[in-house]
Structure 1
């Protein structure tokens, strides 16, 4: 199993692009702490953060989480995300675009423009790269991969909890490898204390843990995601 050499040094600005309000922490929480401890400025950019002012009825996922409207869910989940980021030393950035259960609140160009503005000047950007089975993740990555600034380093990350639910090791999809020239996934180097920080941060997503089966499951419990490997595939500089 190849172990990734350090990606980040001090004074760098790193942005982890998270489709929803938990994907980035579930997937890269320990790495985020590692980079923050190294002196980097780390931002967690959630693109499909939904509209906190919306009174649209909650979609199926949010209804199961106990929310009545899109706005109620967005406000509560942003609070959870903020607590998680504070534990990891990251800054949360939320965009108001809707997930698959809601109106998008903008067209493809609106999304691309808003993300480009949020990423401007970043030294390293990480986006989902495997398995992209969630429709929102696939939709977002396909609209972003061609629009990064030429001097920005790009990397892909294996998404959790989806990667752990597959039997195979993560592999960059062919179309994404062609678009980004990313290499193979490697395990990010993180320390135990950083994985423990991730464990605490995941627990901040109180509304999501029961929906993800993490409250009572030994196989899919919080510890499995916090202590397991984090996978990153680098694109050439």
Structure 2
């Protein structure tokens, strides 16, 4: 896949992000590079509406402060030169029934494929592609987070071989065990010893534990899309020192999220290792036989 050629041909690049930080964590360098070339770059955050307040502990209280989270997102995307768009759906943390602990966020079911949220995502992506010059990048749903899987199923349903939809690896793909659980990313494995999560043992161990405890079908299964090796190809978008610095500066704006992910310094260590080991930011293309 000639990723640079595809990006150059696009009049507009839209990165679909499940939550506020996901697009920047995965593709911050690519976003900054395309915006720096003068292309119109938008980040469409799917789960971006303020959830109903619940007494669910410190984590929910921190993530329910949507005024702060939206401001963080505005600053981060401004750093990269991208425009913010928001779909306004409620993230799983604030949907009924209330999740029974953090593990519930990583348990998927067949109902996701038939849900209204999945259809909303698919319909939205089809609408984006009404413009012939638009290129869409969506997550693969690696790591089994329910919200990520919903977005991935919607994108895979909308794609069906459209060359204007590409897929990126979610943050949880920084665990090689998570990558090898997903039918697409496991097509291009990296050595376990090079897993970026090893740069920060605390975060790495947490991601490994989640990969063992996650349950349920992945996005390709839910979308009814059997994975064949010859249909998928991966390229890495290379990052210069300047692009990596911009990406890390943007990530630092997500203070609500960086605390939950182990802190800014640890994230920097993990992401720098990921860029070095994987040659940049991985992007996948689906092409039917």
TM range (shorter): 0.7 to 0.9
For 2:268 and 2:55, how far apart are their aligned partners in 1? Answer: 26
- Deviation digits for residues 37-81 of structure 1, max 9, x if unmatched? 2222111011111x23x5432656xx32643x84xx222211111
CA contact (8 A) 1:8 1:40 kept: no
Task: Provide the secondary structure at the position in 2 that maps to 1:186.
Answer: strand
Go from structure 1 to structure 2 and tell me whether the alpha carbon gap of 1:111 and 1:5 turns closer, same or farther (over 3 Å shift): closer
- Deviation digits for residues 97-128 of structure 1, max 9, x if unmatched? 01111238x65444443454455425211111
Rg comparison, structure with higher value = 2
Q: Which fold has the larger relative contact order, with Cα–Cα distance below 8 Å and residues 6 or more apart in sequence? A: 1
For 2:83 and 2:231, how far apart are their aligned partners in 1? Answer: 26
CA contact (8 A) 1:33 1:197 kept: yes
- Deviation digits for residues 161-205 of structure 1, max 9, x if unmatched? x111225673368655649x8522221123221111001000000
Could you tell me which runs of 5 or more consecutive residues in structure 1 were left unpaired when the two chains were aligned.
none
Counterpart position of 1:230:
281
For 2:38 and 2:74, how far apart are their aligned partners in 1? Answer: 20
Task: Provide the secondary structure at the position in 1 that maps to 2:173.
Answer: coil
Count of residues paired in the alignment: 225
Task: Provide the secondary structure at the position in 2 that maps to 1:233.
Answer: strand
Could you tell me which runs of 5 or more consecutive residues in structure 2 were left unpaired when the two chains were aligned.
97-115, 188-217
Q: How does 1:35-184 map to 2 (within 5 A)?
A: 35-49=34-48, 51-52=49-50, 54-57=51-54, 63-64=58-59, 66-67=61-62, 70=64, 73-103=65-95, 107-118=117-128, 120-121=130-131, 123-129=134-140, 131-148=142-159, 153-160=164-171, 162-167=172-177, 170-171=185-186, 175=221, 178=227, 183-184=232-233
Structure with more of its chain in helix, by fraction: 2
CA contact (8 A) 1:158 1:231 kept: yes
For 2:231 and 2:12, how far apart are their aligned partners in 1? Answer: 20
Go from structure 1 to structure 2 and tell me whether the alpha carbon gap of 1:156 and 1:112 turns closer, same or farther (over 3 Å shift): closer
Measured on the aligned residues, the alpha-carbon RMSD in Å equals 3.4
Go from structure 1 to structure 2 and tell me whether the alpha carbon gap of 1:216 and 1:77 turns closer, same or farther (over 3 Å shift): same
Go from structure 1 to structure 2 and tell me whether the alpha carbon gap of 1:100 and 1:5 turns closer, same or farther (over 3 Å shift): same
Q: TM-score, normalised by structure 1?
A: 0.78
Go from structure 1 to structure 2 and tell me whether the alpha carbon gap of 1:75 and 1:39 turns closer, same or farther (over 3 Å shift): same
Go from structure 1 to structure 2 and tell me whether the alpha carbon gap of 1:94 and 1:178 turns closer, same or farther (over 3 Å shift): same
Task: Provide the secondary structure at the position in 2 that maps to 1:185.
Answer: strand
Go from structure 1 to structure 2 and tell me whether the alpha carbon gap of 1:65 and 1:202 turns closer, same or farther (over 3 Å shift): farther
